[in-house]
């Protein structure tokens, strides 16, 4: 009988991509999604991820995962970082590009942090994935956040121009989920 793992997210794109990645890497678990009202916190990506998962576990009343994504511009000392959602909503792809005009580098790191809690009162564990790349003029399908402006290092396509299989093989989300899967596979059956 599969064990249920609750993914607390209101983002259908993150849910679809996470399900796609987990479908080939995690057997014996069933992913359930819940869109819960958890306040957006401020702080480092690790602090935000840990506290969000702690609160989610209390609301779910059991094991759960949460996910936080950051886009870190080298020229801006890591900003917008975990605040990329708000920057993107305010200024869009073009505005994010313009933020780097005049700087000598457009290097960026896509960062994904999955947090896992075994349930209320347990300390969440963090699983981080990074993909290095650069910020480019928007190309490709604009349906998933900042994917059209992030081009992984050594590639000639943005995330938005890649097939799901191409992106999943190198994305920050895939790398974080791979670590989470390895951890979950090692859990005893009764956890």
Buried b (16+ CB within 10 A) or exposed e, 147-178: bbbbbbeebeebbbbbeeeebbebbbbbbbbe
Beta-sheet pairing, 125-135 with 150-152: antiparallel
**Do the annotations mark residue 190 as ligand-binding?**
no
Was 10 annotated as part of a binding site?
A: yes
From the list 178, 127, 184, 172, the residue with the least C-alpha distance to 5 is 184
Q: 52 labelled as ligand-binding?
A: yes
66 labelled binding-site residue: no
DSSP structure string for 96-113 = HHHTTTTSS--EEEEEEE
185 labelled binding-site residue:
no
Confirm whether residue 175 is marked as ligand binding: no
Any binding-site annotation on 12? yes
Residue 165 marked as a ligand binder: no
Which residues, listed in sequence order, are joined to residue 67 by a DSSP beta bridge?
114
127 labelled ligand-binding: no
167 known ligand binder: yes
Q: Is 109 annotated as a binding residue?
A: no
Is 173 annotated to bind ligand? yes
Residue 141 to residues 20, 58, 85, Cα–Cα distance (Å): 18, 37, 18
9 annotated as belonging to a binding site for a ligand: yes
The Cβ of residue 101 has, within 10 Å, a number of other Cβ atoms equal to 7
Annotated binding site for ITP: 9-14, 52, 68-69, 144-147, 167, 172-173
Annotated binding site: 9-14, 40, 52, 68-69, 144-147, 167, 172-173
Annotated binding site for Mg(2+): 40, 68
């Amino acid at each position: 009988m599969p064990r249920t793992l609750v993914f607390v997210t209101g983002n259908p794109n993150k849910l679809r991509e996470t399900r796609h990645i987990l479908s080939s890497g995690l057997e014996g678990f069933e992913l359930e999604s819940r869109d819960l009202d958890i306040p957006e916190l401020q702080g480092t990506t690790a602090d935000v991820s840990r506290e969000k998962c702690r609160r989610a576990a209390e609301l779910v009343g059991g094991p759960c995962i949460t996910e936080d994504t950051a886009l870190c511009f080298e020229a801006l000392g890591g900003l917008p970082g975990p605040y990329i959602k708000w920057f993107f909503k305010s200024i869009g792809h073009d505005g994010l590009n313009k933020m780097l005009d005049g700087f000598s580098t457009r290097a960026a790191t896509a960062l994904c942090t999955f947090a896992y809690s075994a349930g209320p009162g347990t300390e969440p564990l963090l699983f981080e994935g990074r993909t290095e790349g650069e910020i480019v003029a928007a190309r490709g399908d604009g349906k998933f956040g900042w994917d059209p402006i992030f081009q992984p290092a050594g590639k000639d396509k943005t995330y938005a121009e890649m097939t799901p299989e191409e992106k999943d093989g190198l994305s920050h989300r895939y790398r974080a989920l791979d670590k989470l899967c390895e951890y979950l596979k090692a859990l005893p059956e009764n956890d």
